[in-house]
């Protein structure tokens, strides 16, 4: 019998390596997908008729190659690996022409769609309630109400609930920030933290530098405060283009810079630590406040939580904003602001904004973070989002027309897709909604309505045949519109 060179080489491989190669090929070939459970070590040893030690060695090999991961008490699973089927979009190049202003209408249409139960929610940038600790928080909030008695109805005046601020101060060490509870103000979500920050450091007419694209809420907020958004080119993986920002800073006055360094919405970009350091230093030299939105920092897919830019702040010029909206409880409306040297001003503004943050949700979240299994929940949420993102990325890569581009986020919950130039995402949005699918069209993410052939797809809903079908319908619509 003639044995081919490859099979001869294969025969020469130790048994564990052969098992690892076979399983590896199934993962690389997409037979086994991200999040799939692979057989237990015991089962693998029976299947391949090898000793337990050989099966263990095979799995260790796959783990070292980054293909699988062991989860405590659950077994082995295929790990998330950003696939490279599609190219990434390039660094954005904001165009200065202004098109018809339809953003506010678009935003309300998107919000209306979010409330429709039968619509597939690629438009809503939130984790589905199935991924949130609903039962646990319901129990915790009832217990907190019983414990607090009439206290739960009392106002917790700014800077807000002390137990929560203490918990946040401990948690901030994970973000790379050493802060005392007295430096934290609790807010009604991250949005209020952004409002307070902008109001504290700008006046109407002032220019504010932002990423391009950026969250549509930020764009609306800047417009409503009478400020001017300066769109700075942004790379889909590494975030704000600092050379471009430097050029802007040299040529004109900028009153503040509002950035989402960890998993920007909609790009999912993550600024490397060195870039965060350079950004903080660049602004500090000119005494320009940096409003840092860290809403997505906890949703990292890598092992380490990325630090915040504030970890490099030496002058108290970085105003760090965050909330529990994407990780635990969007409806509780609890967030925080660590405003550095602008503490007094922002605390006073908080009073005329919402007087105080709702008492009971703050107490419940403090308890949940301390004793409720917050970290365990975050781990499960991150894994679920990673899996969903991987599956949606795959489905898009396989079904959308050739030539499209897509981001490869390493955290967060959204994908940014560049469609063929002729596809108008606003029209696609209307057509998709008629098919009960919501998407977020690109122009929402730019004050000048750039990104007409881009869409943002949220990966907040668990993967299901319904989601798979919806991607197929979107792909069909895009092909029709090409």
Q: Contact residues for ligand PLP (CB under 6 A)?
A: 125, 189-191, 215, 217, 260, 265, 293, 295, 323, 325, 330, 335
State which residue, 54 or 269, has the beta carbon closest to ligand PLP: 269
Is the CB of 384 or the CB of 413 nearer to ligand PLP? 413
Report the residue number, 24 or 460, with the smaller CB distance to ligand PLP. 460
Q: How far is the CB of 334 from ligand PLP (least distance, A)?
A: 8
Q: How far is the CB of 239 from ligand PLP (least distance, A)?
A: 13
Kindly state the smallest distance separating residue 295's Cβ from ligand PLP, in Å. Answer: 5
Query: Whole-number minimum distance, CB 326 to ligand PLP, in Å?
Result: 7
Q: Which is nearer to ligand PLP, 77 or 368 (CB)?
A: 368
Residue with smallest beta-carbon separation from ligand PLP: 189
Give the whole-angstrom CA distance, residue 61 versus residue 59: 5
Q: Minimum distance between the CB of residue 432 and ligand PLP, rounded to whole angstroms?
A: 20
Closest CB to ligand PLP among 58 and 208? 208
Contacts 24+ apart (CB under 8 A), 66-74: 67/23, 67/24, 67/27, 67/28, 68/23, 68/27, 68/38, 71/383, 74/37
Structure tokens at 293: 């939105």
Is the CB of 267 or the CB of 288 nearer to ligand PLP? Answer: 267
- Smallest distance from ligand PLP to CB 201, Å: 17
Q: How far is the CB of 217 from ligand PLP (least distance, A)?
A: 5
183 vs 242: CA distance, rounded Å: 29
Which is nearer to ligand PLP, 323 or 388 (by Cβ)?
A: 323
How far apart are CB 85 and ligand PLP at their closest, in Å? 27
Taking the least distance from each CB to ligand PLP, the nearer of 215 and 463 is 215
> Based on CB atoms, which residue is closest to ligand PLP, 125 or 289?
125
Nearest distance from residue 191's CB to ligand PLP, in Å?
3
């Amino acid at each position: 019998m003639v044995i081919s060179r490859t099979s001869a080489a294969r025969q020469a491989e130790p048994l564990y390596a052969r098992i690892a190669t076979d399983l590896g090929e199934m993962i690389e070939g997409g037979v086994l997908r991200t999040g799939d459970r692979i057989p237990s070590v015991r089962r693998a040893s029976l299947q391949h008729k090898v000793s337990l030690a050989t099966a263990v060695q095979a799995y260790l090999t796959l783990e070292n190659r980054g293909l699988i991961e062991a989860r405590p008490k659950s077994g082995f699973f295929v790990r998330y690996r950003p696939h490279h089927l599609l190219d990434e979009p390039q660094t954005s190049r904001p165009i200065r022409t202004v098109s018809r202003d339809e953003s506010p209408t678009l935003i309300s249409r998107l919000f209306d769609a979010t409330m429709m139960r039968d619509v597939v929610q690629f438009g809503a940038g939130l984790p589905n309630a199935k991924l949130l600790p609903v039962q646990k928080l319901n129990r915790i909030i009832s217990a907190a109400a019983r414990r607090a008695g009439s206290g739960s109805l009392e106002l917790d005046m700014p800077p807000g609930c002390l137990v929560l601020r203490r918990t946040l101060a401990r948690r901030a060490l994970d973000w790379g920030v050493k802060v005392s509870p007295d430096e934290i103000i609790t807010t009604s979500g991250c949005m209020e933290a952004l409002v307070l920050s902008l109001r504290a450091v700008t006046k109407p007419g002032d220019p504010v530098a932002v990423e391009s694209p950026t969250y549509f809420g930020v764009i609306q907020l800047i417009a409503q405060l009478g400020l001017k958004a300066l769109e700075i080119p942004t790379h889909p993986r590494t975030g704000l283009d600092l050379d471009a920002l430097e050029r802007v800073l040299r040529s004109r006055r900028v009153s503040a810079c509002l950035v989402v360094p960890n998993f920007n919405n909609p790009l999912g970009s993550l600024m490397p630590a060195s870039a965060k350091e350079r950004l903080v230093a660049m602004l500090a030299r000119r005494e320009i406040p940096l409003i840092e939105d860290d809403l997505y920092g906890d949703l990292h897919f890598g092992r380490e939580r990325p630090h915040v830019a504030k970890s490099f702040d030496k002058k108290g010029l970085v105003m760090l904003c965050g909330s529990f909206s994407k990780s635990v409880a969007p409806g509780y409306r609890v967030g925080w602001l660590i405003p550095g040297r602008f503490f007094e001003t922002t605390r006073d503004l908080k009073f005329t904004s919402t007087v105080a943050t709702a008492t009971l949700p703050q107490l419940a979240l403090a308890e949940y973070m301390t004793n409720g299994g917050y970290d365990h929940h975050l781990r499960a949420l991150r894994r679920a989002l990673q899996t969903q993102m991987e599956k949606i990325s795959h489905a898009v890569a396989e079904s959308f027309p050739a030539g499209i581009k897509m981001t490869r986020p390493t955290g967060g919950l959204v994908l940014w897709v560049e469609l063929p130039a002729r596809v108008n995402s606003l029209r696609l949005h209307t057509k998709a909604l008629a098919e009960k699918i919501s998407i977020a069209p690109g122009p929402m993410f730019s004050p000048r309505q750039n990104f007409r052939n881009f869409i943002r797809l949220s990966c907040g809903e668990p993967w299901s045949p319904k989601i798979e079908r919806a991607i197929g319908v979107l792909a069909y619509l895009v092909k029709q519109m090409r």
